[in-house]
Copies of this chain bind each other. A is one copy, B any other.
């Protein structure tokens, strides 16, 4: 196909894909606003909007060039490529911010957002999809097959989250006398809306990561990738639903939705290389892993209100390794090495930065403020001021 023509078509395709990913901004916002208690809803929404604004602008000013080494682009408009990549950066921090919800102050989190978007995430992109400053070293992991960021996005966000939870600790009263207190989601329609918007955003995330639609082969590849992405979500939802039903005899929509998201993460690394049936297996395992991981993290008193570690970390690892298992052209060891290098780098640097920020500004609110809720103490704005509450 004519180069100008494919330039035009791929630019339109990148803009379309980017737009779908941006629907993940309200997606994460609604999901998290629905999961937390009403006293922390405004705060969680504020954090989501802040992340999109701060992370995206930081990426424009600093991160993008650090990740890719250049703004230039041959086959597609460089501005469309930037928009597509920019749509990713906030997701890393969204994934993380949910897991420290209901107890973390907004300003220190904003500062960490700047660090993630200017340094940690761009460096991960640099050594995987980008300019690759590790080229030729023994740590070179650019051979890892990670289509749309099972490791680069989802694990990166959740390794940072794990570091943050170690520093910040659990919500007040969450673990008491060896028991985990169940804190129910405050608004199930918002949880559902958010998860479904994320699902749709994933089509842009994974489909767009193919990079071009402008040939018959690529058109097939993009469509296959989106189909496999969706199948992963379907299988994850069903597997999680059945498993929870067997265990607890109830049909649990929050687990079904988290299972779907786990399934979606689990096919994010390899949706472009599987046949149409493999994602059923990978996604089912992904959904099942969420069901097992949620109580496991609670056993270790790792308090993660939205289940981000179960959805994104466990499945980020599983999904990346799955490419090594199910795709014959990909080496399992290469995948494992990629997972490990990113894990160590992100966890260690996050821990250091978070530790320093915490020393200066303190992430966790004090105990009384946590009881009152972030909406009053941090924002001065109640989410639903006219509704009488039971708590």
Contact = CB atoms under 8 A, between A and B. Distances in A.
A49 B380 contact: no
Contacts of A227: 79, 82-83
Interface in A1-54: 1-2, 4-5, 7-9, 11-16, 19-20, 22-23, 25-26, 29-30, 33-34, 37-38, 41-42, 45-46, 48-50, 52-54
Contact of A381 (B184, B235, B384): B184
A189 B5 contact: no
Nearest to A253: B46
A388 B46 CA distance: 25
A234 interface: yes
Interface string A221-261: 01110110011011101100100000010111110110010
B230 A83 contact: yes
A390 B381 contact: no
Given A20-B19, A213-B8, A252-B380, A257 B189 contact: no
A300 interface: no
Mostly, the A contact residues are helix
A346 interface: no
B196 A29 contact: yes
Contact of A188 (B4, B184, B381): B381
A interface bracket (residues with beta carbon within 8 Å of B): 35 or more
A176 interface: no
A11 B276 contact: no
23 contacts: A4-B215, A7-B216, A8-B214, A8-B219, A9-B12, A14-B223, A19-B20, A22-B200, A30-B193, A38-B387, A45-B192, A46-B256, A49-B253, A53-B241, A56-B230, A57-B231, A60-B234, A77-B219, A79-B226, A79-B227, A253-B381, A384-B387, A385-B390
